[in-house]
Amino acid sequence: MTTTPEIGGRQPLPINVEAGKSYWWCACGRSKKQPFCDGSHKGTPFSPVEFKAGKSEEAWFCACKRTGKVPMCDGSHKKL
């Protein structure tokens, strides 16, 4: 079994988040509800990552699953 996540998309996804709300970012890349978890990681070594919004704003979530700033985009998709 590979420990490299699948690529869930090749561009970051802008999401309007609400202060205090938790969002569960897909770490495996298999979710059909990118960038969020839909349970597709079951049977893999991956687990979703909780992001709790500190304020209401537009946040750019990583879809390529190669970011160094999990779960936010750091531009890693440009190297794919």
pLDDT tens-digit map of 16-64: 999 999 999 999 999 999 999 999 999 999 999 999 999 999 999 999 9
- Cβ neighbors of 76 (< 8 A, separation 6 or more) are 62, 64, 66, 67, 68
Phi, psi of 77 (to 5 degrees): -60, -20
- Whole-model pTM: value is 0.93
At 3 the pLDDT is 87
At 67 the pLDDT is 97
